[in-house]
């Protein structure tokens, strides 16, 4: 679940990591050129650890059957809610099964203390730097296609997707926040927007207590990027879908679900999955990702 209100208010009082200081940037680690002895890219699930700024960071890689390092597969980075871990993100999203079916890599980073330093929560870790390093390692060690790297997540992980799109320019072709928002003090600044094209597909429920903020956030995102939004398309269960084309060449697709709360529509399992939502976010985001490769700025 998303953090409670007191926790969120406390998080706002903590110094935000944002893009990091010059010292932080200087401390960024370069990806390992050769796979470590314990990291042998092959099909299945693999827990990987790396030392990032003096702390052990963990992520899990899922590679589809038949994977070999000679293939240049798309990569989806999937982030968990707070509190949670990579296993929770895998359970909720069902992305492993989708990866096996469609032939792509999935990586599930673990946030320290079960959360990511996203836009309104949680903590002060340099998670942007950690995920940058992790992504470089995956495009190197695992030979993921750098032109087809995507991010998704739910709740705290969805917020983090927006933060990565802004603070890691030139990295992601598209993001898919689920029950997450472009929220908080940083996003309130007009200058806090992607500097390179990043397309967005997002899913928000009207019964979510954070709906208003999430709705206002994606509206601000589209305004800053000079997006032209279509008239809402009405789907079953009164779901509304809007599409927009933005000045930088990116696209924005928004699904607003009137009967859904803080959940993953059509999720594969866990308390944050909503099997009755009327759409399947995992299927829809993958079709969206397949149609978007990284654009030149």
Q: Are the C-beta atoms of residues 282 and 98 closer than 8 Å to each other?
A: yes
Distant-in-sequence, close-in-space partners of 188: CB < 8 Å, separation ≥ 6: none
pLDDT digits (tens, 9 = 90+) for 60-92: 999 999 999 999 999 999 999 999 999 999 999
For the chain, give the percent of residues with pLDDT over 70: 87
pLDDT digits (tens, 9 = 90+) for 119-151: 999 999 999 999 999 999 999 999 999 999 999
Q: What is the pLDDT of residue 295?
A: 79
Distant-in-sequence, close-in-space partners of 21: CB < 8 Å, separation ≥ 6: none
pLDDT digits (tens, 9 = 90+) for 219-278: 999 999 999 999 999 999 999 999 999 999 999 999 999 999 999 999 999 999 999 999
Q: What is the pLDDT of residue 149?
A: 98
**pLDDT mean over 92-107:** 98
Q: What is the pLDDT of residue 27?
A: 36
CATH numeric code, 5-290 = 3.40.50.1820
pLDDT at 209 over 70: yes
Q: Are the C-beta atoms of residues 258 and 70 closer than 8 Å to each other?
A: no
For the chain, give the percent of residues with pLDDT over 90: 85
Nearest to 31 by CA among 146, 151, 160: 146
pLDDT digits (tens, 9 = 90+) for 159-208: 999 999 999 999 999 999 999 999 999 999 999 999 999 999 999 999 99
Q: What's the pLDDT band for 297 if we cut at 50, 70, 90?
A: low
The model carries a pTM of: 0.88
Identify the residue with better confidence: 90 or 13: 90
Q: Are the C-beta atoms of residues 159 and 180 closer than 8 Å to each other?
A: yes
Mean residue pLDDT across the chain: 89
Q: Give residue 168's Cα distance to chain centre.
A: 12
Q: Whole-angstrom Cα distance, residue 196 to residue 241?
A: 25
DSSP-derived letter for residue 232 is P
Q: What is the pLDDT of residue 39?
A: 77
Q: What is the pLDDT of residue 19?
A: 29
Domains of the chain, by residue range, sit at 5-290
């Amino acid at each position: 679940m998303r953090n409670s209100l007191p926790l969120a208010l406390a998080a706002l009082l903590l110094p935000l990591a944002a893009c990091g200081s010059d010292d932080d940037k200087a401390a960024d680690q370069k990806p390992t050129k050769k796979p470590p002895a314990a990291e042998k890219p092959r099909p299945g699930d693999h827990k990987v650890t790396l030392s990032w700024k003096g702390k052990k960071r963990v992520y899990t890689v899922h590679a589809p059957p038949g994977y070999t390092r000679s293939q240049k597969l798309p990569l989806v980075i999937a982030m968990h809610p707070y509190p949670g871990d990579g296993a929770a993100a895998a359970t909720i999203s069902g992305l492993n099964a989708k990866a096996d079916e469609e032939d792509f890599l999935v990586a599930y980073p673990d946030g320290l203390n079960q959360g990511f330093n996203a836009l309104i929560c949680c903590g002060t870790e340099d998670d942007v730097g950690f995920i940058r390093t992790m992504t470089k390692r995956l495009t190197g060690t695992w030979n993921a296609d750098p032109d087809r790297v995507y991010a998704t997540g739910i709740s705290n992980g969805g917020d983090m997707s927006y933060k990565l799109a802004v603070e890691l320019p030139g990295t992601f072709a598209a993001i898919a926040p689920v029950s997450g928002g472009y929220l908080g003090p940083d996003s309130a600044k007009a200058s806090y927007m992607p500097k390179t094209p990043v397309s967005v597909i997002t899913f928000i429920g009207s019964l979510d207590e954070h709906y208003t903020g999430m709705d206002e956030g994606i509206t601000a995102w589209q305004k800053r990027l000079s997006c032209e939004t279509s008239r809402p398309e009405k789907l079953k269960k009164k779901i509304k879908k809007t599409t927009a084309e933005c000045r930088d060449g990116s696209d924005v697709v928004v699904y607003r679900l009137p009967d859904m709360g803080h959940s993953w529509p059509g999720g594969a399992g866990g308390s944050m999955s909503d099997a009755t939502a009327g759409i399947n976010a995992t299927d829809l985001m993958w079709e969206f990702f397949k149609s978007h490769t990284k654009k030149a700025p």
